[in-house]
Chain A
Amino acid sequence: MNHYSYIALIPLLPLATFVLLGLFGRKYFKTFSGIIGTTSLLASAVLSLITAYNYFLVDGKVNGIYQKIIALKITWLQFAPNVSIDLGIVLDPISVMMLVVVTFVSLMVHVFSLGYMKGEERYATYYAFLGLFTFSMLGLVISTNIFQIYMFWELVGVSSFLLIGYYFDKPSAVAASKKAFIVTRFADLGFLIGILILSFHAQTLDFNTLIAKLTATQSPEFLSISTSTFLGASVLTWGLTLVFIGGAGKSAMFPLHIWLPDAMEGPTPVSALIHAATMVVAGVYLVARLFPIFSVDETALHIVTYVGLVSAFIAAIIACTQTDIKRVLAYSTMSQIGYMMFALGVAKQGGEEGLGYMGSMFHLFTHAFFKSLLFLGAGAVIHMVHSNEMKDMGGLRKLMPVTHISFLIACMAIAGVPFLSGFFSKEEILLAAYNSNKLVYGVALFTSGLTAFYMFRLYFNIFWSKEANVHGHHHGEGPLVMKIPLIILAIMAVFAGYIPFSHFVTSDGAALETHIDIAFSTAPVLLALAGIGLAAMLYMKSNAKPDAIASTMGGLYKAAYKKFYIDEVYLFITKKIIFNLIGRPAAWFDRNVVDGFMNLLATITAKISEAIKGLQSGKVQNYALYFFGGIAALAVVFIYLWK
């Protein structure tokens, strides 16, 4: 116990909200539940800010290096004298940063939902689920050991399932929640096996010991895990890759991304919270948490790099063709998380080469603000026009000025327009990529141009394009509680980049000097501006050019519009191959062999009892006869046969 133990309250307050609202919300707090949830989260957010202040500015640093502080440690399950599963709280730069991000974005979403979800039948349940989600995510970021992180990881998955399927009377929402759950569960299997491999070789679950043992190149644990091989790769590579598969599932990396666009069936504020700002970065956080181990294994890092890069690129292309605004945002999320992943992949532990790590965390930080702003803005738009489709929108800039301005700021931030937050973080990532791998840099640069294009395609389609269809828009922009989060997040989207992030969060805890190099920044900025310009030309006024371009692109456009048929490939593999080759034979075996054996036993029993039931005749004298017959038989046996 030390003076940091109050941090336990940060996750426990949302948990208390969940229990309170989940048990009694619908009966007793029908209208107050939003206020209750928001208040408790406000307290959490304030505590997180206090923690961040104390950690970063007062006493986190020893000799210029940020320390890992174990704020709390409880032995939870003791299996043997030296094998136990602990619950604890670790404070280091990334966990403190995540505490702030999660509570802050969650608070904004809670406030926004006060207006957005007003009048919903299951209003209290909604806030209960939000509390559960926030609790799980906070528990995940402060985990001290790999088992604890796995536990909260699954809790996050469950709350995501509950929130995506919030409108459970809508078949598409039910299907989406099932899909998200199954895909991430499938990936989590990889994570679990990875955990078992790593912790078996290191003989520990605790992050600190695990990292210390597996990074010291002379330790027996390291030698045992890196010299034993399986299918041509070392066990260390396998373990890390399997852990990364878990992370890729949660973070919607190619090819496990298929659940993310469908997850947009949930209420829009939920998309802002889970599928943009917090849960989907869990994978990035996991890789960052284990980064010292990843950094000793080149192969695993390459996998992280290329999976991230491919995801970023493919998602950007798909995003250019989608017409559902939330799907565009979903793919842009996937693309930006791809950025964070490959930034980690190109980084090295410590010093100047750790720039990618810092860039990744910085981008995670800024992305949380502008992406949640984009989703909340989209939520406000959907709230007004009651549709997700771009064709139902257009010309909304005069009807919803606050949303318009904040959405524009967020678009500029994500596109990388200079002096907004996204510019600074993306710049670090590109620089890290440039320093380590020119191919990665080239693709990343092109993707950043695409990002600018599709974000402004979205912006112009919503707010410009054709004239607004004023009829039917019976209510205005929404209540004040929906505008305030937009304004606060817009301010953060502008200024978050000015935080001297490289002084706080680096791979080894020591401050890193970064500066914006104008010569280097020219290319990305010009590309971003070109993307914006192209989008303005095509979509600012409604015209025939986009359709013409789409038809000249032909097959490519159609493939991108259909999301490169990845869903269809999954369906083909599951329905045609797995179901036919494994499912059906297994079902046949179960029905005929397993059930058949049981049925046979039952039939034999039935036949025998049918045959002998006549003995039970109901006649007392028959019974007496059997009795004396039996006695006589036993007498014969014992007197003459039993010698």
Chain B
Amino acid sequence: MSEVPVTHILFVSTALFFIGMYGLFTRRNMITMLMAIELILNSVNINFVAFNKYLFPGKLDGIFFTIFIVTIAAAEAAVAIAIIINLYRSHHSIDVENAGELKF
């Protein structure tokens, strides 16, 4: 069974990263933006796992980092959704264009 080359995996993660970036900058819906951020985080996770496997097969550091990031992503989602709910209560919308009061 031939192994998948590391470059393929890196292609996937890079694509995922820039899809996330694109989503983050173009979407106005905050839920969608949150999902885009999750994509970015997961692209990083893929990188960690891939490098761990191909460069240091005997170690688990990359895996630990991945678990750590997944935990943080969960916490971040909780906070972000709380913010979104509050924003919806005060602005009756979750469009970021409508929440621009905090400026100079």
A620: contacting residue among B21, B96, B104, CB under 8 A: B96
Asked whether, in the complex, the Cβ of A621 is within 8 Å of the Cβ of B24, the reply is: yes
Query: Does A616 belong to the interface (CB within 8 Å)?
Result: yes
Query: What distance in Å separates the Cβ of B100 from its nearest Cβ neighbour in chain A?
Result: 4
Number of A-B contacts (CB under 8 A): 26
A621 to B104, CA, bound (A): 16
Contact of B55 with A by CB under 8 A? no
Residues of chain B in range 19-49 having any CB-CB distance to chain A below 8 Å: 21, 24-25, 33
Inter-subunit contact A621/B103 (CB<8 Å): no
A619 within 8 A of partner (CB): yes
B102 close to chain A: CB less than 8 A: yes
Question: Does any Cβ of A come within 8 Å of B3's Cβ?
Answer: no
Structural contact, A621 and B96, CB atoms closer than 8 A: yes
Q: How many Å lie between the Cα of A628 and that of B103 in the bound state?
A: 20
A426 to chain B, nearest CB (A): 84
Q: Say whether A625 faces chain B, with CB atoms less than 8 Å apart.
A: yes
Residues of B in contact (CB 8 Å), total 12
Measured as residues with beta carbon below 8 angstroms from the partner, the interface class of chain A is 10 to 19
Q: Would you call B102 and A618 a contact (CB within 8 A)?
A: yes
Determine whether the beta carbon of B101 is less than 8 Å from that of A618: yes
**B96 and A614: CB pair below 8 A?**
no
- Nearest CB in chain B: distance from A608 CB, A: 13
Question: Please, which residues of chain B bring their CB within 8 A of the CB of A624?
Answer: 24-25
Asked if A617 lies at the interface with its beta carbon under 8 angstroms from chain B, I say yes
Please give the distance in Å from A174's CB to the nearest CB on chain B. Answer: 51
A613 part of interface (Cβ distance < 8 Å): yes
A616 to B25, CA, bound (A): 17
Which residue of chain A has its CB nearest to the CB of B27?
Answer: A621
B100 contacts across to A, CB distance below 8 A? 617-619
Report A587-622 CB contacts with B as 1/0, cut-off 8 Å: 000000000000000000000000001101111110
Contact among A613, A619, A625 for B104, CB-based, below 8 A: A613
Whether B102 and A621, one on each chain, are in contact in the complex, defined by CB atoms closer than 8 angstroms, is no
B21 touches A628 (CB 8 A): yes
Rounded to whole angstroms, the CA-CA distance of A619 and B103 in the bound complex is: 8
CA A620 to CA B101, docked complex, whole Å: 11
Q: Which residues of chain B have C-beta atoms less than 8 A from A625's C-beta?
A: 25
26 pairs, A vs B, C-beta closer than 8 Å: A613-B104, A614-B104, A616-B103, A616-B104, A617-B100, A617-B103, A617-B104, A618-B100, A618-B101, A618-B102, A618-B103, A619-B96, A619-B97, A619-B100, A619-B103, A620-B33, A620-B96, A620-B99, A621-B24, A621-B25, A621-B33, A621-B96, A624-B24, A624-B25, A625-B25, A628-B21
Chain A interface (Cβ within 8 Å of chain B)?
Answer: 613-614, 616-621, 624-625, 628
User: Beyond the given A616-B104, A621-B96, could you list 4 further A-B residue pairs with CB under 8 A, ordered by the A residue number?
Assistant: A618-B103, A620-B33, A621-B24, A625-B25
Q: Hey, which bits of chain B sit against chain A, CB under 8 A?
A: 21, 24-25, 33, 96-97, 99-104
